[in-house]
Amino acid sequence: MTGLLVVTAVSAEAEAVRAGLDDQAVTVLPVGVGPAAAGAATARLLALAEAAGRPYRGVVSAGIGGGFVGRVAVGDTVLATRSVAADLGAESPEGFIPVDELGMPPELLGVGNAVPADPGLLAALRTALPGASVGAVLTVSTVTGTAAGTDALAQRHPDAVVEAMEGYGVAVAAAQAGVPFAELRTVSNPIGPRDRGAWRMKEAFAALTEAAHALR
């Protein structure tokens, strides 16, 4: 068995994580943007490691994301209690219907709309990062960019703290491989109407480097 696999969307996030690590037992790799790319690439990495007789002990989806105003602040570090496919479901005149509530047979739902973080891995990260906020992290394929969209997500997910684009895909890959999963994010911007002037990428990457020590 080998160590921890940490996957990010892009190289800049991977570099920020590596800058906070000095541990050869942690593998850090960018796997692409969005749940499909991230999930497929993570599944391949887990399968290759298992086939080589060196399965990973755990998988962490790490990177930056948008934070819900009033719940977290720009620069904060967040640990996911669960990774939620926030836009997986159906629209209706009454509003969004999560895939869990569409009446599909359990065998077709798979893990449903959300994958909880592994309790042991989450507990270890919380101990190492006592100042981190904890809550649901939403995975979306289209980043929220309006006040109405932000309000709708906040109402549907009162425990959500961050929105990102990969966690759920990575979580599904880990669940199907039977590998413990967790998600770690730092906040680069508030969710809402797009305002590049409000983004604080440098601060978010610095926070990600600082948080990476918990992955040792």
Assigned token pair, 30: 């960018």
- Is residue 41's pLDDT more than 80? yes
Number of Cβ within 10 Å of residue 165's Cβ equals 22
Q: What is the mean pLDDT of residues 6-22?
A: 95
pLDDT tens digits for 107-134? Answer: 656 677 899 999 999 999 999 999 999 9
Cβ neighbors of 184 (< 8 A, separation 6 or more) are 60, 61, 62, 77, 78, 79, 80, 125, 211, 214, 215
More confident residue, 41 or 101: 41
Q: What is the mean pLDDT of residues 19-24?
A: 85
**Which pLDDT score is estimated for 110?**
67
CA-CA distance, 49 to 154, in Å (whole number)?
38
**Which pLDDT score is estimated for 100?**
79
Share of the chain above pLDDT 90, in %: 76
In words, the CATH class of domain 4-215 is: alpha beta
**Which pLDDT score is estimated for 90?**
84
Q: What is the mean pLDDT of residues 72-85?
A: 96
**Which pLDDT score is estimated for 102?**
78
76-99 in b/e burial notation, b at 16+ Cβ within 10 A?
bbbbbbbbbbbbbeeeeeeeeebb
Query: Can you give the pTM of this predicted structure?
Result: 0.92
- Is residue 61's pLDDT more than 80? yes
**Which pLDDT score is estimated for 138?**
97
Give 6's strand partners: 28, 60
**Which pLDDT score is estimated for 108?**
59
Across the chain, mean pLDDT equals 92
**Which pLDDT score is estimated for 166?**
97
pLDDT band at 89 (very low <50, low <70, confident <90, very high): confident
Residue 46 · residue 177 · CB < 8 Å? yes
pLDDT tens digits for 152-176? Answer: 999 999 999 999 999 999 999 999 9
**Which pLDDT score is estimated for 195?**
77
- Is residue 1's pLDDT more than 60? no
CA–CA distance from 93 to each of 96, 97, 124 (Å)?
A: 8, 10, 43
pLDDT band at 190 (very low <50, low <70, confident <90, very high): very high
